[in-house]
Chain A
Amino acid sequence: MSASMRYLAVDDDPAFHFVLTKMMTHLGYQPPVCAISAVEALNYLSDPKQHFDAILLEIQMPGMDGIEACQHIRAMAHHKDTPIMMVTTMNGREFVDQAFAVGATDYLTKPINRIELQARLGMLDRLVKEHAHARSLQFAMESMDDIQSFGFAFEDPMTLPKCGSLIDYLALENHLLTLSRLKLHAHTALAFQVVGGAALFRRLNRVEFLDCMEDVGSAIAACLKRQNFLLAYAGSAEFVSILNRTHPIDMLELEQELSSELMVFDAVYESLGLPMLEVRIGATVNSGLFSTSAVKTMLGRARASVRGQSGFHMQYMAG
């Protein structure tokens, strides 16, 4: 728990503000700054004198709803990676998917209880620290003068600062956890792996490696754009996507499209003396009637499958 964190809570219900304020102060947090509408929240967030570490956002509000508000917040350069947790009674799949697609970090359904709130705020605390690290990294990528000070391991699921189509791996896990809690199971995980990623990591400096991963992430996102998807960089030169199971994927077509997208980068990589980008696609892993602990298993199986050569011939059921 971080007593120094400053939260903005956006909800049109004053009673919820009472509850949240009491719960948070009881847990040792500062009382949140409360906004009664999305418009009031956006005014707070666009005020350069105000600083917020994280935002709690209701979906159903009169006027502008929380989904639209989240889009506006993400469009603000200084809040593009501020953690946003939707806190709402809306528990339909369409709300969950929309929220994560427009940039929500987590999704908590009302009524809230103290223990769950404590766990989720703790997660946001950790994310704020990770984002501070990512901002430093972005600064280094722009200035290129302090690259050596940024250490991250090959396995680390880094935020790719310049790749707008990707969400954080943590947000991807939270999306799956939310679907699991709400017993919504019609989704599939699909992993992608950059062939020779470990060698690239050894050969390139950290900034160059992330640039390379951003190229791959953009190419994968371009191939998936015809359907609803969430995509995150998972570390170890691997990406994981969550797709709706009701729209089956033509794996051969996807493989061909991805090759075409990656060919765009061939000339640049050749001129730099780097190997051409090649990406392996894993098997689809369907959600089952799993427990929340099996979410990591689902992602783990998707990633395990991509490490095999003939991934997409197999299908797994998680949980």
Chain B
Amino acid sequence: MLVGTSTGQTMTESWAQAIIPQFLDLTASRQIEIEIERGNLEAGTDPKHAAREIGKIVHKIAGTAASLGFPGLGAQAQTVESLCHQAAASPARDLDPALKRHLLRALDDLNQELDRVLVTTV
């Protein structure tokens, strides 16, 4: 049975607890990388490139977060990844404004999840 905690983390097995510190270190670095690319996305010089780069970073978060007991973070990372794929696949040079807004909102939500996990997980 999975039991939720205030961090959104579910109860994890002992092997997983042992590697959570490394996961949190990596995730903190990734949060900074996402913030940098988000700046590039908003600046608009090469938004598709920024979306592709964000997609690569969140792909890694999506791949492991739920296995370590952070399903909310994993799901939000997957949402962002999917939007990044849509953005990268678009034939237009610039991002569709609606897609860009959607992506920025999803990044806000992801950032909140990251803060929740990184700040409050003990």
* Same assembly: yes
Q: Which residues of A contact B59 (CB under 8 A)?
A: 60, 89
Q: Report the bound CA distance from A89 to B13 in whole Å.
A: 22
B103 contacts the other chain (CB 8 A) = no
Q: Are B13 and A19 in contact (CB under 8 A)?
A: no
In the complex, which residues of chain B have a beta carbon less than 8 angstroms from the beta carbon of A131? none
Contacts of A11 in B (CB 8 A): 63
Interface size counted on chain A using CB atoms at 8 A: 22
Contacting pair B63 A110 (CB below 8 A): yes
- The smallest beta-carbon distance between A72 and chain B, in angstroms, is 22
- Is B22 part of the binding interface, using a Cβ–Cβ cutoff of 8 Å? yes
Q: A62-B56, A111-B62 are in contact. Are A15 and B81 (CB under 8 A)?
A: no
Contacts A89-B81, A113-B67: A13 and B60 contacting too (C-beta < 8 A)? yes
B67, A19: Cβ atoms under 8 Å? yes
Closest to A58 in B: B63
Chain B, interface residues (CB within 8 Å), range = 20 to 34
Contact with A along B36-74 (1 / 0, CB 8 A): 000000000000000000001001101111111001001
Tell whether, in the assembled complex, residue A26 and residue B13 are in contact, meaning their CB atoms are under 8 Å apart.
yes
Is B78 at the interface (CB under 8 A from chain A)? yes
Q: A89-B78, A89-B81 are in contact. Are A15 and B22 (CB under 8 A)?
A: yes
Instruction: Give A58 to B49 CA distance when docked, in angstroms.
Output: 22
Q: With an 8 A cutoff between CB atoms, is B26 at the interface? A: yes
Q: Are B74 and A111 in contact (CB under 8 A)?
A: yes
Q: How far is the CA of A25 from the CA of B63 in the complex (A)?
A: 19
> How far, in whole Å, are A25 and B18 apart by their CA atoms in the complex?
13
Name B's interface SS. helix
Instruction: State whether A19 touches B56 (Cβ < 8 A).
Output: no
Cα–Cα, bound, A195→B66 (Å): 51
**B22 / chain A contacts, CB cutoff of 8 Å:** 15, 18
B119 at interface, CB cutoff 8 A = no
Which residues of chain A come closer than 8 Å to B27, judged between CB atoms? 15
B19–A19 CB distance below 8 A: yes
Contact across chains for B15 and A89 when beta carbons are under 8 A apart: no
User: Taking the complex as formed, is A181 at the interface, i.e. its CB lies under 8 A from any CB of chain B?
Assistant: no
Q: Please, which residue of chain B has its CB at the minimum distance from the CB of A62?
A: B56
Tell me if B16 counts as interface (CB < 8 A to partner A): yes
Q: Is A154 an interface residue, CB under 8 A from the partner?
A: no
Contacts of A15 in B (CB 8 A): 22-23, 26-27, 60, 63-64
User: Which chain A residues numbered 38 to 70 have a C-beta less than 8 Å away from chain B?
Assistant: 58, 60, 62
Contact status B64-A26, CB under 8 Å = no
Interfacial chain A residues near B62, Cβ < 8 Å: 89, 110-111
In the bound complex, residues from chain B placing their C-beta under 8 Å from that of A89 are: 59, 62-63, 78, 81
Contact A22 B18 (CB under 8 A): yes
Residue A16 CB within 8 A of the other chain: yes
Taking CB atoms, residues of chain B closer than 8 Å to A112 are 67
Interface check A23, CB cutoff 8 A: yes
In the bound complex, CA of A27 to CA of B16 (Å): 13
Q: Does A114 contact B (CB under 8 A)?
A: yes
- Using a CB–CB distance below 8 Å, which chain B residues touch chain A? 13, 15-16, 18-19, 22-23, 26-27, 56, 59-60, 62-68, 71, 74, 78, 81
Can you name 12 extra interface pairs (CB under 8 A) apart from A16-B64, A19-B19, A114-B13? Answer: A15-B63, A18-B19, A18-B64, A19-B16, A19-B64, A19-B67, A22-B15, A25-B15, A26-B13, A58-B63, A111-B67, A112-B67
